[in-house]
Structures are given as structure tokens and as C-alpha cells.
Structure 1
């Protein structure tokens, strides 16, 4: 027996004053409502109604049950209405997952802009270079650099990632600049070790017949892109770095773009979220806002 459902029907009968009118209100047959009340009476071991062919009234026990149960059902109705209404409110927590590099370079201004528009929204930002399982981590929206996430997720492409070969002016003063891919092999280079696999990633260079993968001589490898960018910025070596992480440094002269004809675009930045038809309004608004803001911020990529 569904106790909550039966109690709700009992209160409905009391309010309506008859089984038939309560049944109409609930979209049920009078027989179904009568059977549910009989089950409740059998469960309690007492009668709740005095029934005649012309009238229906509560027993003393029925009156007591109504007085005790009615406030509780009203509180339950209010709770359901509040939760239902929260879908239309731009208030509450939004949990977002992203790699550290995207959290710093892309999401920080997006979160600020969204909160300026909707001050009632709050964020829990989880930064990890490994792919984040939305369901297991209770994440509303994820961001990812690389290939689109698999599984049953909605993935929206924000921009291509342009890999640029960069070096600090200090490094170029000491070692000179490579003139082609072959000369890169004689330079001090940095590498990125993939967080999920620990594998050192080869450089991806644009060639005449497509992408060429080059194992460069790494003087240092890093398991976070942020640390690799910092090392290149400080003159440790030449690095192949994502455009969204170095464009400001290039514009300010802290880094120099080398061999631009070798730039590649074999990966992208994605926003992803679970396939749900009922998404809280604050999350849906953030998804739409972040998509447009990120595309503007990464424009031209």
C-alpha cells in the first residue's frame, strides 16, 4: 500500500464530502477510491467513515487522523511547490567541472559575468585535468579540451584549439629561433604528459600531406598545461601550446610565435552536460550564457 497516496485520497474524500466527488478530482473511479479507503481502514484496524446510502461522515478515529494528517499533507504540498518553483528561479548552486587551464583562462570571466547578471547563482568549480564523470561527481556542466566526450552526453563545440609553437624572448636570445621542423630537433623543447594515461604527447605539426607527429627532445615534461606554459614563459625551452593559454602572452611580447605555418587545429574545446529534459532554470541559463560567452572569448580560433 502506498501510504502517502492513500492518505492523500482519504483527505480528498473528507474535503469533497463524498467518494464520487473525490474520485472526479483525482481522475479515478469511485470504486478505486473506495477500495483505497478500505485498505487504509484494514491497515489501521478501525473504521474511518460512517457510510450510508445518503451520507458520509467521519468516525472519531477518522476525525483524529484527518486533524493529524492534514497539516502534514499541506506541508508536503508546499514543499513540492517550492521545488517545482525552483526550476524557474535563477538561484542556487551550479556545479561546474573543467581542466585547470580552462578554469583559469576561460571560465573565470564567464562565472563572473553570469553572477553579475544573476547574483543569486553560486558556483562550485571542480578543476581536474582528468575527464570528470558528471553523474558520479554530481556535476551540472563540464568543459573539456581535446576530443568530444563519449557516453550519453550532450557535447557542444565552443572552438577549435590552435596549437602554437612558442618561446620566450630570453630563450631566443640565448639559442636562436628554429627555421623549420628539422631544426626543432636541435632545440630545447618542453612536453606535456597526458593526465589520464601518463603518456608523453608528441607534437602535432602541419605538413604538406596533413598532420605530422614529432617526438621532440624534451628537456622537461609536465602533467599540467599551466606548468608547461609557465616554464616556456620563463625561458626553459620551446613549447607547443594551446592558443587560449598564450594569446595574451604573445600580444604582450612575453612569448614569440614561431613557425606559424606549422600550427595545427586537431582538437577543440567542448561544453558537455547530461541528456536531461528537466534541467533547473539556473543551469539551462548558464549553459546558454556560457556557450555564447565562450565563443566570443575564443572567437577566431
Structure 2
């Protein structure tokens, strides 16, 4: 039996949650994954997985084995990547998932610099706000705003961002300028539906270390960050947007900051990836580049 192949199959099953998804990510038949796991359990003389018709769960012994195997596979990948990197520059395709605003306003405009440094790497970039299964969809790494709660994934914080409450000058001329959050209840506001769906987000404010989540009856609710910014610029209402997404409009006077004494909590930004992939040379240099990109940005660097 190819022990490395069996270990890799076991890790993929644990991370994907099913034999079928694991087989898809490995690009092998489902029967091959099943056979590798069965032989691995027989060789170890221990059951690693509980199987039912609907799901696969890890046994206590399997959980311990998983933690050790992930480290071993990572060490092997590091050896191979280091050797490859010493001989030539990283190359190949990487599949990256990124939120719409960060992808459109931060990542894509800077990619020319990455390609100059690594011309042999191809990037397939998924831009959107859909929550995805990295393993099942073959994603090498993803940039995620907010807290990360996925199990069996490595999360590395690369930055953070705050929010700015703002509106177009013409809107303020017509409706007046609020001086406290409570006044927003009587003014048109634009809401943003969180990436996970559900109700439009409240407007949070922080004053003297006191957090207030202001629920508002928005006159317009959107689920796309580009459209959200467009609504603010069009004077449709007051918006509360990530500062990095409105900084150009603020600098140009197309949007005016409001309630600046009332700050908002910062949101962390992470890059996430499956632990058995994180030392691939091409993925590693991409992540290092993203870390440097965020660190150079005053509105995105880690706080």
C-alpha cells in the first residue's frame, strides 16, 4: 500500500466530510479512496472513521492520527517545495477565493506586481461573497473578512479594517448632517445584507468603549458591495462602509464622513487554507505577497 497516498486520502475525507467530495478533490474514483482508507485501518488495526449512509465522522483515534498526519504531510510538502524553489521559481495554477470589495479594490489592482515577481504562476480568482467549502471546491486559499469558524482549516490573520459612516454632499444638503447616531432613525439609510444572508446589518457604533448596534429601517437594502458604494455616491442614503472601499471617494469629496467621534469596531481579515496544502511553494509565495500588500495599506494593516 502507498502509505502517503492513504494518509492524504484520509486527511481529505476528514476535511471534506464525505468520501465522494474527497475523491473529487483528489481526482480519483470514490472506490479508490474507500480502498485506501480500508487498507490503512487494517494496517493500523484501528478504526479511524465512523461511516453512515449520510455522513463520515472521525473516531477519537482518528482525530489523534489526523493531527499527526497533517503535520507529517506538511513537512513532506515543505521539503519538496524548498527543493523545488531552490531550483526554479514557483509555477502552476492556484485557485483563490476573495470577497468582492477586497478583490475589486485591493487585490486585482495590485496583481501586476505579483505577476512581475512570479510570471510562471497562474491565478484563478473567485470574486464574491458566497461562503464556500475550500476542500470540496478545490480552493487553495481564501481571504475571509470576520472571524473564522471552520474546523480543520488554518487561519492566519493578515489585516483588519474599520468602517466609515458617510453620505454624498447633495444628500446632506437636502437632509441635513446628523450629529448623533440616533438621528439616523429619521434619515434615509442604505443597508447591506451580510455575506451569510439574513437581515441587513445594523450600524454599529463605538463611543467611550461602549458598543451600540443601531437597528435601522433602511430605505434600500443591497447584497453587493459595489452596488452599496454606488448607492451612497448616488445620494440614496447614508451608508456605513469599510473605510478602504470609500477612501478615494472621501478624498475626492464625493462622500463626506459623518459621526467621526463615534467609531466602529475593526473587522479582522484572514487568509485560510487546508493544513495539508499550506506549504506549497506557489501558494506560500502568494500568501506572503498578500500579507505584505495588507501591511503596506494604512486602512488594511493588522491592528
Bigger Rg, structure 1 or 2:
1
How far has the Cα of 1:216 moved from its partner? 1.6
Is 1:295 aligned to residue 295 of structure 2?
Answer: yes
Distance 1:199 1:122 in 2: 37
Distance 1:278 1:205 in 2: 37
The corresponding residue for 2:115 is 115
Summarize deviations over 1:86-127 as a string: whole Å, max 9, x none. 896421111110111111012113422111111111110011
Summarize deviations over 1:247-301 as a string: whole Å, max 9, x none. 1111111111101111212422221111126632111111111111122122487
Is 1:103 aligned to residue 103 of structure 2?
Answer: yes
Distance 2:301 2:266 in 1: 17
Question: Would the aligned equivalents of 1:188 and 1:219 in 2 still touch at CA under 8 Å?
Answer: yes
The corresponding residue for 1:269 is 269
Distance 1:179 1:300 in 2: 30
Summarize deviations over 1:6-57 as a string: whole Å, max 9, x none. xxxxxxxxxxxxxxxxxxxxxxxxxxxxxxxxxxxxxxxxxxxxxxxxxxxx
The corresponding residue for 1:46 is none
Question: Would the aligned equivalents of 2:193 and 2:222 in 1 still touch at CA under 8 Å?
Answer: yes
The corresponding residue for 2:91 is 91
- Length-normalised TM-score, structure 1: 0.68
Aligned residue-pair number: 221
Question: Would the aligned equivalents of 1:160 and 1:265 in 2 still touch at CA under 8 Å?
Answer: no
Distance 1:149 1:103 in 2: 22
Question: Would the aligned equivalents of 1:88 and 1:281 in 2 still touch at CA under 8 Å?
Answer: no
The corresponding residue for 1:133 is 133
Distance 1:276 1:300 in 2: 25
Summarize deviations over 1:152-193 as a string: whole Å, max 9, x none. 222122222211101011111111110111211111101011
The corresponding residue for 2:71 is none
Distance 2:106 2:208 in 1: 32
- Length-normalised TM-score, structure 2: 0.67
Distance 1:214 1:289 in 2: 37
- Alignment CA distance shift 1:197-1:299 (3 Å): closer
Distance 1:171 1:238 in 2: 8
Distance 1:266 1:285 in 2: 27
* SS across alignment from 1:260: coil
Aligned-pair RMSD on alpha carbons?
Answer: 2.3
The corresponding residue for 1:167 is 167
* SS across alignment from 1:108: helix
Gaps of 5+ in 1: 3-80
Distance 1:156 1:180 in 2: 36
